[in-house]
Amino acid sequence: MVPLAGYLFVSAALFCIGLYGALARRNAVAVLMGIELMLNASVVNLLAFWRYLNPNVSLSGPAFAVFVITLAAAEVAVGLALIIAVYRNRDTVVVDDVDLMKG
C-alpha cells in the first residue's frame, strides 16, 4: 500500500517545483504555468487527506477539489487574456519588462 506520506511528499515536491517555476521564469506564461502546478499540488493534498483521514459521505475533499479546479480554469482564462492584452500594448511577455508603474 501507499502510505499517506507518499502523496504528501509528491505533492510537496510538485508545489516546490511549481514555486521555482513561478519565481524564476521570465516569461509571464511560464509563471502562470508554475502557478497551475502549485494548484495541482494542493488538489493532490486535498484528495489524499480526504481519502486517508476522512473518507466520509460528505465528500469534503473531492468537493473542495472541484472548486479549486474550477477557479484554476477561470484564473488561467483571465491570466492569459491579461498577458495577451499586455503583449498587444507593450509588445513583450517578459514579466520584468512590464514596469510602467515602477517609480
Partner 1 sequence: MIAIKDQRSKMDWIMEFLTFIVFAGMTLTGAVFMVTLHNLVRSVLAMILAFVGVAGLYLVLEAEFLAAIQVLVYVGAVAVLVLFAIMLTQRVSDPNKPTNNAQAWLAFTVSVAMFGILSWVYAPIKWPALPALPTVNNEPVGSVVNLGQQLLGAYAVPFEVASVVLLVALLGAIILARE
Subset of 9-38 contacting partner 1 (CB under 8 A) = 9-10, 12-21, 23-27, 29-30, 32-34, 36-37
Find out whether 76 and 36 touch, Cβ atoms under 8 Å. yes
* Strand, helix or coil for residue 2: coil
Residues 33-62 that bind partner 1 (CB under 8 A): 33-34, 36-37, 40, 43-44, 47-48, 51-53, 55-59, 61-62
Between 1 and 100, whose beta carbon lies closer to partner 1? Answer: 1
DSSP 26: S
Residue whose entry in the numeric block shows the C-alpha cell 484528495? 47
For the record, the C-alpha cell of 82 comes out as 491579461
Is residue 63 at the binding interface for partner 1, with CB under 8 A as the rule? yes
96 binds partner 1 (CB under 8 A): yes
